Structure 1
């Protein structure tokens, strides 16, 4: 016997699928802009361990001499990114969905247990509802990163008009560096998130596409918080 369990409401799915390609365009266009002044590296003095990004990388992705194109795309899509992010945050607050995403008091301890479980070093998982502790921290971190990218982006986009924000961020050069670091963190999150989606399988992916998962009927032994959450949501219709 199978049961259909409501997973993600329509609004969450829309915000997710709008944000994914928009953020991808933002990163791509950001690379076109960064090519014109690629100053960042990891190293000390005249010694460079890693340069962001070598000429071979720029040429492979056809980045050189496309600065105007990159700025055009970046400055248009940043408004879509900002509006979508603000609406998403407001939805979390007014729908009370934030209670399922924001970390709780034991999040750090439980996230470590989740990590050990994913590394096959621990058998059991701590009780969880819609998201486990590691996911709560990661998704909340993405919200903070989104806010940070917007603020730092405005500071380097209009450093005179937003001089107060630029000053609070440490000046133009610091704001640009912070914007770059946040972008790298977004890329890393993308990569980890995609791997996790693949490992979780089709049923989990379907939850973000169609809004529901198909799960086996619970056995009498199942009585965790997660089961009660799923049973409660089984009767709900997708928004």
Structure 2
């Protein structure tokens, strides 16, 4: 796997990235605790991996899984996610980051890169996004929009009644919210796996720059 090149990230991208990462961790952990109070599917998440008050106290009370605290955490994470997402989108449009790095995206290019990835032959050059990465990034951005909008429909079902109708009712909004969470968590797992394979990308997201330009003439003097 080639990693030649330079990876750079401007400070608004890094600030939005880490803020969204923190917000998503808060929202997933607290959301799982809220979900446990009224599950959609016949299972509950272990309290130890949820966020919403003292786990031992919640277990001792049985009927009170710390939902009130989880909701407070969830709202805090929601506002942080919205602010970071808006920062990322506005900067991406104004600076040309989206146009330069996330386009073009075509089905033929995606199929080619996806097939190469399945055979572990997909090259990666720092500073360049392959088509698989572009599609995944657009996908997770869309999932974030869905999770925010469906969350608003759940939070204020009367005031945002048209949104509730859009999702097929309150329960429909809950299901869509849950599915969007699964997409985001799945993206995080893949994202972390790719970072483990190319750790220099993490350096760039922390410091703003990583790598060095590819040598001219294939490295020949």
Bin of the TM-score, shorter chain as denominator length: 0.7 to 0.9
Rounded to whole Å, the distance in 2 between the matches of 1:72 and 1:80 is: 13
How far residue 167 of structure 1 moved from its aligned partner, in angstroms, is 1.0
Q: Is the 8 A contact 2:5 2:126 kept in 1?
A: no
Name the TM-score, length of structure 2 as normaliser: 0.82
Structure with more of its chain in strand, by fraction: 1
Q: 1:4 to 1:144 in 2, by over 3 A?
A: closer
Match of 2:208 in 1: 211
Match of 2:146 in 1: 148
Within-5 A mapping of 1:92-171: 92-106=92-106, 108-120=107-119, 122=121, 130-171=128-169
Question: 3-state DSSP class of the match of 1:19?
Answer: helix
Rounded to whole Å, the distance in 2 between the matches of 1:129 and 1:113 is: 20
Runs (5+) with no aligned partner, structure 1: 41-50, 223-239
Match of 1:84 in 2: 84
Match of 1:37 in 2: 38
How far residue 18 of structure 1 moved from its aligned partner, in angstroms, is 1.1
How far residue 77 of structure 1 moved from its aligned partner, in angstroms, is 1.9
Q: CA RMSD in A?
A: 2.6
Aligned length: 204
Higher relative contact order (CA 8 A, sep 6+): 1
> Once superposed, which parts of structure 1, at least 4 consecutive aligned residues long, lie more than 6 Å away?
126-129
Rounded to whole Å, the distance in 1 between the matches of 2:39 and 2:108 is: 39
Q: Is the 8 A contact 1:148 1:182 kept in 2?
A: yes
Match of 2:62 in 1: none
Rounded to whole Å, the distance in 2 between the matches of 1:186 and 1:112 is: 22
Rounded to whole Å, the distance in 2 between the matches of 1:217 and 1:100 is: 20
Q: 1:127 to 1:113 in 2, by over 3 A?
A: farther
Q: Is the 8 A contact 1:115 1:134 kept in 2?
A: yes
Q: Is the 8 A contact 2:150 2:177 kept in 1?
A: yes
Aligned match of 2:217 in 212, 216, 220?
220
Structure 2 residue 6 is matched with structure 1 residue 13: no
Structure 2 residue 55 is matched with structure 1 residue 58: no
Name the TM-score, length of structure 1 as normaliser: 0.76
Deviations 1:184-211 (A, max 9, x none): 111111111101100112x221111111
How far residue 32 of structure 1 moved from its aligned partner, in angstroms, is 0.9
